[in-house]
Chains A and B, each alone.
Chain A
Amino acid sequence: MCQECGCSKPGPYKIDGRPTEPHTHSHTHADGTVHTHSHDEHDHAHGHHHHDHGHDHPHQVLNLNTGILNANDRAAEQNRGAFKALNLLVLNVVSSPGAGKTTLLTKTLNELKGRLRAGVIVGDLATDNDAARLRTTGAPVVQIATGTLCHLEAGMVAEAMKQLDLRALDLLIIENVGNLVCPASFDLGEAVRVVVHSVTEGEDKPLKYPPMFHSADVVVVTKTDMAAAAGFDRELALKNIRQASPRAKIFELSARTGDGIAAWCDYLVALKTGAATAG
């Protein structure tokens, strides 16, 4: 359940056009009823116990003070562990629809050739148009079609990354579904969360969508070549970004003209070599 917009649990989703099978199983309760259900995760220790006790036990208080991770957070931690073991730098790129994620990533993949071996997992509700554009760079690309779901979840990424030879990669870029609300709450196990903000969206997006901007390690302001035409107030926009994303490193660039792309790509290389840190 997406706690932000109240949208339903993930329905069937597709990876590179092939449906994924939910893991289901049945078990029998003590009273003989058979109960079938599905799980997001494949490996789990599981048991339902129904006891009938006619006697009283003394009450006992357990002080636990333990954090509760939901299923997505657990899956994200598994992904994070796998990425770390593979020494793979992973970006989760989020923005509103049309901010220019795919154009930015296509340019980035071309510029990084010979410097970092990069792969992409791209999420959309439907079509593999973005994947097709990204594949023109020669990078391995896996498409997740989420069906109706407005964000990627860690379990989907875990499934999708099976399609990639992660050992042959230095950098994995996850292009999230275009949406500035729900993806904020779904950790995918990434090291760096990149929020893309185009100048055509105006200056107050960071104030209107604070959870997403607050979670950002990096904010990339795109389409700077169109700033004058859009009447973009750069100083105000940067002030708003700094207020909503105090930790974030900010890049300003145009994927179309290439202006500012070098600094962004140098930063990714520096992150990979450990010469720079996120945020």
Chain B
Amino acid sequence: MQAALETAGEKTRAAGATQIHRLTLRVGALSGVVPAALRFAFDALKGESPAATAELEIENVPAVGWCAGCAAEFDVAEINYECPRCHQPSGELRRGREMDLVSLEIS
């Protein structure tokens, strides 16, 4: 969250603005980030930043794997990286590791 606020602060200053009204993050299910912990960290850290009064919006992304054999995506449930069609394990994760700063509403 510290890194998100630093990046957000840099982008806000670069755009010639001083205040962040809304901060939108994208968090993958396998990013290692727990949204509730993120909100807690945001509330604890925002005080000294341009995001002091900002609203935090979190977009959650479920984990999706890719099976090369079937040329199809599949949902990764828990730790099972196996394609539900052909039952081959796949090491390719298409989505679910995101930790992105999506957008900022600033002035």
Contact = CB atoms under 8 A, between A and B. Distances in A.
Interface of A: 3-4, 48-49, 51, 53, 56-71, 185, 207, 210-211, 214, 242-247, 279
A65 B102 contact: yes
Contact of A66 (B32, B48, B101): B101
Contact of B15 (A60, A69, A214): A60
B99 A62 contact: no
B3 A63 contact: no
B103 A64 contact: yes
Nearest to A67: B100
A243 B107 contact: no
Contact of B7 (A4, A68, A243): A68
B21 to A, nearest CB: 6
Contacts of A51: 18
B70 interface: no
Interface in B29-68: 32-33, 37, 48
Contacts of A247: 91
Contacts of A242: 89
Instruction: Give the interface residue-count category, chain B.
Output: 20 to 34
A244 B80 CA distance: 7
B13 interface: yes
Contact of B3 (A57, A69, A185, A210): A69
A2 B96 CA distance: 20
A279 B91 contact: yes
A32 B102 CA distance: 35
Contacts of A64: 11, 101-104
A264 to B, nearest CB: 21
- Label chain B's interface by main secondary structure: mixed
A180 to B, nearest CB: 14
* Leading 5 A-B pairs by shortest Cβ distance: A247-B91, A246-B91, A57-B107, A210-B79, A246-B89
A53 B19 CA distance: 10
B10 to A, nearest CB: 9
Interface of B: 2-4, 7, 11-13, 15, 17-19, 21, 25, 32-33, 37, 48, 79-82, 89-91, 98-107
A68 B4 contact: yes
A198 to B, nearest CB: 21
B106 A60 contact: yes
Contact of A244 (B11, B25, B79, B99): B79
A37 to B, nearest CB: 11
A203 to B, nearest CB: 15
22 contacts: A48-B48, A53-B18, A53-B19, A57-B17, A59-B105, A59-B107, A60-B106, A61-B104, A62-B103, A62-B105, A64-B103, A64-B104, A65-B101, A65-B103, A66-B101, A68-B7, A68-B25, A210-B79, A214-B79, A214-B81, A243-B79, A246-B91
B48 to A, nearest CB: 8
A189 to B, nearest CB: 17
Contacts of B100: 65-68
Contacts of A244: 79, 81
B23 to A, nearest CB: 10
A243 B21 contact: no
A57 to B, nearest CB: 4
Contacts of B13: 49
A44 to B, nearest CB: 10
A17 B11 CA distance: 41
A243 B106 contact: no
Contacts of B37: 3
